[in-house]
Structures are given as C-alpha cells and as structure tokens.
C-alpha cells in the first residue's frame, strides 16, 4: 500500500471507489501523522482520534454498499479553530473563550463538509481571533514551519497549512481577512485560495466584516476545486452570500492558460522590496506561463498602498471583537492584539467611512484593470519564512504584520479571488509562493491557471524533511 498521507483528496476518493484502501486506513494514517508531528510544529489545538475513526467507519460502510454520501466521503479534513464545529469548543486562540459552549452548531463550510461525509481529524491553530499574519497565541503557543520548525508557518491559518504540508489530512478550511490562507500557503509550500467574497457562506459574521473570506487549503488546485464544490453550498444564515453556484469548479479546470492575458507585477511598481531568491522563483514561473501559451506583459496596477485604510478597517474590527471584555480578559490578550484594539477603538465613524472610500476606489481601479487583463500575477510574499513567535522578521523596520504582506491584503479590500501556488524554494529550502489574482467572480480562472502550473510541474517542490522523519503509516 502506498503512503496514504501523501495522497490528495481526489486520489483518496478514487482509491475508495476502486477498493484499493478504506477510509479507516486513511484516517489511521493521517491521525498517526498528525500526532507524530504535533510536538514538532504545533499545528493542532485538538486532535480527535475517536471522532475521526468513528466517522471513517461509517464512511467505510457507505463505500462498501456503493453509496457514498458526497464528494469527499471518508476524506480526512481539518478545520481552523476560528470556524464553529459542533461537538467541541472553538477557542479562537484566546483565553477569553471558555469551555461552556454549548458548541452545538457548525459554521456553513463545516456543515457542508459534514453533509458530504468528511472525516474531521481536529481543529488547527490560529493567532488570537486570527488577527495577524503569523500563528502564535498566548493560549496555544507558536506553530512552526514544516520545513524548519524554528521558523513561522505564517498565519493566521498557519496550523491548517502545516497540517496539509505534513500529510495530516489533504483538505483544510482556513479563513483569510488579509492574506491568512495565502501567507501560510506560501511559507509552507501548499495551495490555498481566497475565493470571491460571498462565494463561501460565513456564519457567524466576522467582526472584520467583508474583508474576511473562508477558503480551501489543499495539496493542489484540483483538490481546491473539489473542496469548493462542497463548501460553496448555500446557507440561510449568511445574508451576504452570493447566489447559488450553477456549475462545478472542476469544470474547465484543465483548460490551460493558452490565450489568457496575464499582467506580471514583480514589485507593485517598485513599491515592494522583494527578496532576490523569491523574485527569481516567481519570474521563472511566469516564464512557464509564457511557455504554456499565456500572453504575459510586465506591468503594474496603478495602486497606492492602501495599508492605512486597511488598518482602520482591521483594527476597528479587532476592537469590536474585544469590546465587551473585562479588564482581566484584556490583560490576557496577545500584547499586539491589545495594541491594535486600542488603536481601533479610537477610530471614528468618519475614519471608518473614509477607509471604505479608499476600498471602493481600489475596487473600481482593479475592475478596470481586469477589463484588459484576465489575471494579475505577483509574488505571494516578498520573503520566505522567518523566526517563529515574531510578528515581523528580525530587524524589520515595520511593527505590524502588514509591513511584510503588501501583496495580499489589497485583494481582501477588493474581494477578488486570489491564490498562492508553490513555485520553488530558497537556498535554505524554504518554500516560495506565486500569487494569482482574477476579477471578482472569476474564481475559475485562478483555479485554471493554478492547475496549469501543477500539470506542468511548475508547482513541484520537495516535501518537508520533517515528514520523512515520521514512519509512514501503511508503508
């Protein structure tokens, strides 16, 4: 039997259908990997082996009868500990959240996975309330990078990215309010996508408002398309969701990039200082897009950095999260979170609306940009992973995480679909990501271009060395 922890969700489902292996075998293998790697990287808040094996046995019986429940029946999945999952607490990385519950409700994306027969391995780590681009919190500590546990996995969906990279489940649900699936995907060498806002229903509504998206974190683009087919199902609890999806996200996935008009912006017009190794890896991948038939032009969207407006929106949201906290609860917060909450609480309604004006202008500019270009390509991040437990790299002139994520948060402001695809490693063996961005509602183009890179081998990078230290189950 092959190492089941290395298989994609698509491969697992095909194997179940063929009778090559069972959901119970896959659950045992991925649980073993999760438990063996947890001391090294701290990807999980909770691993629930009893629940997972029970769900896997039920799935195995459905497959034996030839009656799978849905598209991911028996596939091991993980869920960021921001999203509600009934049966256990959602701590959101904070001591301010107690155990009392009742914890009797699933978030929409979690509910859709349950309806499709997924096997829930556990909840993955997040910084407190998902507030920053790295994953550490006073409650759960820091999450290390699978390629070097002394480095950060990124955030705020760092636990999910680490789990996928290490083979602890091929599918993970993350949230992205300023880059939070794309940042850890780039640092950990996996695929992640922030869909068009509203495409994946959200409940409860995020305090960060319409900046926050739910998105897939997976081994490749094909698995992301599969997961999108599951989690985009409608949910009446989300008043801001888009209309029903009328097609499969897997349709047209293999259409290639021939003829697509691609804008390549290596540094947002010189606004961003990009590490030379990152820049070289991204440029090589852009050259592969040319070889595959895309029409690539090196150009930049004419955008001034919207970080001040983003901070007003983001910090105000954080202040709202903690508005009712007691003095003791505030004292226990991540110090950086406490700082931005205090700043957000000082913002006026006029400050907030001025930031909304910046956001609308940015959205209009990108809408016009995509009249000319199907895709915008940038580095996902200008750097590779730095030391764990820090908000910014050592020696950085910035104090906040947005200082080193200038390619990600603008597209939360515009609500566009954007993905990070692995495109190489640096001299230390740390992954590099390339970002693909399309116009609102063109999630299909992002997935299609990413799939083309996977099929061409442009997204192939070495597996984390840590994974090889763990004896593969079933091998």
Distance CA 405, CA 424 (A): 19
> How many separate helices (H) and strands (E) can be counted in the chain?
15, 15
Q: Looking only at Cα atoms, what is the longest distance across the chain?
A: 62
pLDDT of the residue at 468: 57
How do residues 166-202 score in pLDDT, each as one tens digit?
999 999 999 999 999 999 999 999 999 999 999 999 9
Is residue 475 domain-resident? Answer: no
Distances (CA, A) of 93 to 97, 162, 301, 303: 8, 16, 36, 34
Q: What is the DSSP string of 273-287?
A: ---HHHHHHHHHHHH
How do residues 254-271 score in pLDDT, each as one tens digit?
999 999 999 999 999 999
Is the pLDDT at 42 greater than 60? The verdict is yes
Distance CA 433, CA 421 (A): 5
How many domains would you assign to the chain?
Answer: 1
Q: Is the previous residue joined to 204 through a cis bond, with omega within 30 degrees of 0?
A: yes
Active site (annotated) includes residue 248: no
Beta strand ranges found along 219-332 (DSSP E): 261-264, 295-298
Name the pLDDT band for 475 (thresholds 50, 70, 90): very low
Is residue 473 domain-resident? Answer: no
Active site (annotated) includes residue 180: yes
User: What is the pTM assigned to this prediction?
Assistant: 0.97
Is the pLDDT at 227 greater than 50? The verdict is yes
Active site (annotated) includes residue 172: no
Domain interval for residue 366: 4-468
Residue keyed to tokens 């959205």:
363
Q: Taking residues 126-149, what's their average pLDDT?
A: 98
pLDDT of the residue at 465: 87
Is the pLDDT at 225 greater than 80? The verdict is yes
Is residue 88 domain-resident? Answer: yes
Is the pLDDT at 466 greater than 90? The verdict is no
Q: How deeply is 389 buried, as exposed, middle or buried, from its count of CB atoms within 10 A (0-12, 13-18, 19+)?
A: middle
Is residue 408 domain-resident? Answer: yes
Name the pLDDT band for 467 (thresholds 50, 70, 90): low
Is residue 474 domain-resident? Answer: no
Please indicate whether residue 22 or residue 1 has the higher confidence score (pLDDT): 22
How does the average pLDDT of the chain come out, rounded? 96
Name the pLDDT band for 473 (thresholds 50, 70, 90): very low
Among residues 22, 59, 80, 265, which one is catalytic? Answer: 80
Is the pLDDT at 474 greater than 90? The verdict is no
Extract the tokens encoding 170: 């091929």
CATH number at residue 382: 3.90.1300.10
Angle between helices 23-41 and 158-166 (to 10 degrees): 120
Among residues 59, 180, 316, 420, which one is catalytic? Answer: 180
Is the pLDDT at 296 greater than 70? The verdict is yes
Name the pLDDT band for 436 (thresholds 50, 70, 90): very high
Is residue 202 domain-resident? Answer: yes
How do residues 362-382 score in pLDDT, each as one tens digit?
999 999 999 999 999 999 999
Percent of the chain predicted with pLDDT > 70: 97
Among residues 22, 137, 156, 265, which one is catalytic? Answer: 156
């Amino acid at each position: 039997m092959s190492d089941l922890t290395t298989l994609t969700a698509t491969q697992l489902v095909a194997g179940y259908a063929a009778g090559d292996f069972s959901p119970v075998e896959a659950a045992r293998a991925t649980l073993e990997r999760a438990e063996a790697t947890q001391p090294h990287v701290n990807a999980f808040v909770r691993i629930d082996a009893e629940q997972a094996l029970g769900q896997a046995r039920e799935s195995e019986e459905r497959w034996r009868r030839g009656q799978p429940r849905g598209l991911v029946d028996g596939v091991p999945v993980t869920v960021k500990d921001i999203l509600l999952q009934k049966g256990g607490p959602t701590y959101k990385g904070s001591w301010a959240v107690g155990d009392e519950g009742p914890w009797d409700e699933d978030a929409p994306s979690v509910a859709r996975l349950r309806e499709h027969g997924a096997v829930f391995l556990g909840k993955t780590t997040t910084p407190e309330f998902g507030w920053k681009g790295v994953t550490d919190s006073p409650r759960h500590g820091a999450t290390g990078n699978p390629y070097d546990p002394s480095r950060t996995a990124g955030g705020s969906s760092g636990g999910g990215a680490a789990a996928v990279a290490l083979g602890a489940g091929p599918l993970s649900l993350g949230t992205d309010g300023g880059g939070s699936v794309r940042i850890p995907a780039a640092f950990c060498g996996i695929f992640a996508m922030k869909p068009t806002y509203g495409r994946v229903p959200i409940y409860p509504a995020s305090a960060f408002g319409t900046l926050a998206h739910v998105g897939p974190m997976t081994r490749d683009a094909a698995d992301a398309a599969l997961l999108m087919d599951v989690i985009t199902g409608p949910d009446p609890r989300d008043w801001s969701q888009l209309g029903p999806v009328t097609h499969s996200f897997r349709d047209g996935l293999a259409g290639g990039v021939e003829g697509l008009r691609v804008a390549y912006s290596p540094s947002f017009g010189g606004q961003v200082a990009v590490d030379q190794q990152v820049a070289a890896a991204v440029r090589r991948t852009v050259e592969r897009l040319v070889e595959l038939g895309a029409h690539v032009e090196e150009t930049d969207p004419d955008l001034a950095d919207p970080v001040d407006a983003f901070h007003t929106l983001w910090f105000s949201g954080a202040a709202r999260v903690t508005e009712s906290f007691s003095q003791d609860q505030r004292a226990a917060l991540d110090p950086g979170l406490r700082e931005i909450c205090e700043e957000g609480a000082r913002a006026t309604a006029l400050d907030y609306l001025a930031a909304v004006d910046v956001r609308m202008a940015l959205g209009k500019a990108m809408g016009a940009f995509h009249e000319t270009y199907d895709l915008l390509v940038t580095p996902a991040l200008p750097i590779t992973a730095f030391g764990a437990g820090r908000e910014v790299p050592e020696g950085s002139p910035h104090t906040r995480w947005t200082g080193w994520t200038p390619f990600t948060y603008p597209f939360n402001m515009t609500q566009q679909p954007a993905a990070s695809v692995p495109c190489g490693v640096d001299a230390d063996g740390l992954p590099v990501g390339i970002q693909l961005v399309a116009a609102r509602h063109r999630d299909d183009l992002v997935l299609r271009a990413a799939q083309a890179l996977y099929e061409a081998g442009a997204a192939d990078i070495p597996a984390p060395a840590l994974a090889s230290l763990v004896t593969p189950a079933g091998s």
